[in-house]
Each structure stands twice: as structure tokens, then as C-alpha cells.
């Protein structure tokens, strides 16, 4: 791009692409973690229907386990 006369544009495009990829990576990090956790739970099946689960203040009974709520 330097040979075509776009000296500043080449650096700006590369910097913008780098910053954009970091922003997208951080934005989708939690979504990817939750998706991976759901897949692991689906295959390992540590819980069964009607199991009582308590996590700190959150308590409840397992009604269903599927990947349908992505």
C-alpha cells in the first residue's frame, strides 16, 4: 500500500483491524464460555431431571437440560 501512496492508510487499517479483533474477542468471550459449558454439561450429564441444585443463594430443581436456549 505504501507504493500506491497510502502510507498512513495502511497503518491505520492494520491498527483498526487489531483493535477491532480485540474488541470482538472480549465481546464474545462470555458467550463462548457459556456455550462451551453447556456442551460439557450436555455430554457429562452431572445432573438428572428432578435433582435439587444449590449454588450459594440460588436453589432449584433441574427441569430440563438441552442446548435449545442458545
- Coil, helix or strand for 61? strand
- Coil, helix or strand for 62? coil
Is pTM, for the whole model, over 0.85? no
Is the Cβ–Cβ distance between 31 and 19 less than 8 Å? no
Residue 21 and residue 28: Cα distance in Å, rounded?
Answer: 11
Q: Tens-digit pLDDT profile for the chain (70 aa)?
A: 566 666 677 777 777 888 888 888 888 888 888 888 888 887 888 888 899 999 888 999 988 877 665 4
* Angle 50-55-56 from CA coordinates, rounded to 5°: 140
Residue 61 and residue 70: Cα distance in Å, rounded?
Answer: 20
pLDDT the model gives residue 51: 92
Amino acid at each position: 500500500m505504501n507504493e500506491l501512496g497510502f502510507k498512513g492508510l495502511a497503518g491505520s487499517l492494520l491498527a483498526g483491524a487489531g483493535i477491532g479483533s480485540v474488541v470482538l474477542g472480549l465481546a464474545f468471550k462470555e458467550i463462548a464460555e457459556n456455550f462451551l459449558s453447556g456442551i460439557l454439561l450436555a455430554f457429562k450429564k452431572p445432573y438428572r431431571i428432578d435433582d435439587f441444585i444449590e449454588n450459594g443463594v440460588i436453589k432449584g430443581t433441574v427441569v430440563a437440560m438441552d442446548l435449545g436456549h442458545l
